Amino acid sequence: MKIEAKELTKMYGEGENRIIALDKAALEIAQGDFISITGPSGSGKSTLLHLLSGLDRPDSGSLAYDGREIYGLTDRELSAFRRRCIGFVFQQFHLLPVLTARENILMPLLLDKKQPDEAYLGQLAELLGIADRLNHLPHELSGGQQQRVAIARALIAKPEVIFADEPTGNLDSKSGREVMELLKTVGEKMGKTLVIITHDNRIAAMSKRRFSIVDGILTEEVLG
């Protein structure tokens, strides 16, 4: 899946309160890329991620996945597109507390009325080191394990692209690093595109292409 974003601009507020959260952001992402985006709090990182993943629409600009214009889709088409093509990982793991790890992972398939692929679930659980945790409830898991369950959930519908917004923000640095290493390994093994927002430079350093964003202006860092 090739992603092409052009001149994405997003504003909030009116009159004097108007702020430009994102100012003409342009970005091309190839299948299998691993991209990190860093920047201070309030710089527009989440806004960019929401636009790139079709969770939100810009005031102007365009976004295409393999040449297909995303903002031209109706809300219903857009949410179907997200369910099939994109996996999300958030800072708060957003696991449902009354469901086991296994049920949480399978939730996106249930919502899409698809049958679980047990072999694939087993493979994901193995890769992510949670095979012996699948029948546990979230509160019986460590933060790192909960995030690994959330990563399995993001991958269960076999999307080509994973967007992660501060995926290690709620973890101590050791489990944060482990979670990132796993995400990277799974991404590489399965040929997924990864777009990760982080304020941790050590995590950004693991990516293939690094972007930074300041006051809504996105720039790619040229690595020497």
Rule CB under 6 A: which residues touch ligand ADP?
Answer: 12, 19, 21, 39, 41-47
Q: Choose among ligand ADP, Mg ion, none what residue 145 binds, the Cβ cut-off being 5 to 8 Å by kind.
A: none
Measured distance CA(58)–CA(22) in Å, rounded:
9
Q: Which is nearer to ligand ADP, 13 or 72 (CB)?
A: 13
Q: Which does 12 bind (CB under 5 to 8 A by kind): ligand ADP, Mg ion, none?
A: ligand ADP
Q: Where are the alpha helices (DSSP H) in 92-172?
A: 101-111, 118-127, 143-155
Q: Tell me the residue number closest to Mg ion, measured at CB.
A: 46
30 binds, among Mg ion, ligand ADP, none (CB under 5 to 8 A by kind): none
Nearer to Mg ion, 92 or 135 (CB): 92
- What tokens does 152 get? 């399995």
What CA–CA distances, in Å, run from 93 to 88, 137, 154, 169? 10, 13, 11, 10
CA distance 185 to 181: 6
- For ligand ADP, which is the closer residue by CB, 52 or 128? 52
In contact, 54 and 75? CB cutoff 8 Å = no
Closest to ligand ADP by CB, 32 vs 71, is 71
- Least distance from ligand ADP to the Cβ atom of residue 193, Å: 20
Cα separation, 125 vs 149, whole angstroms: 8
Work out how close the CB of 56 gets to ligand ADP at its nearest, in angstroms, rounded to a whole number: 9
**In the bound complex, what is the minimum distance in angstroms from residue 165's beta carbon to Mg ion?**
6
Q: Name the maximum alpha-carbon separation found in the chain.
A: 56
Looking at beta carbons only, is 42 or 116 nearer to ligand ADP?
42
CA dihedral in degrees (96, 54, 170, 152; nearest 10)?
A: 50
Task: Provide the minimum distance between the beta carbon of 24 and ligand ADP in the complex, in angstroms, as a whole number.
Answer: 15
- Chain Cα centroid distance, residue 38: 14
Q: How far is the CB of 12 from ligand ADP (least distance, A)?
A: 3
- Which residues sit at the interface with Mg ion, rule CB under 5 A? 45-46
How far is it, in rounded angstroms, from Cα 120 to Cα 191?
Answer: 15
**156 or 180: whose CB is closer to Mg ion?**
180
Q: Which does 74 bind (CB under 5 to 8 A by kind): ligand ADP, Mg ion, none?
A: none
Minimum distance, C-beta of residue 51 to ligand ADP, in the bound complex (Å)? 10
Q: Which two tokens stand for residue 182?
A: 């796993």
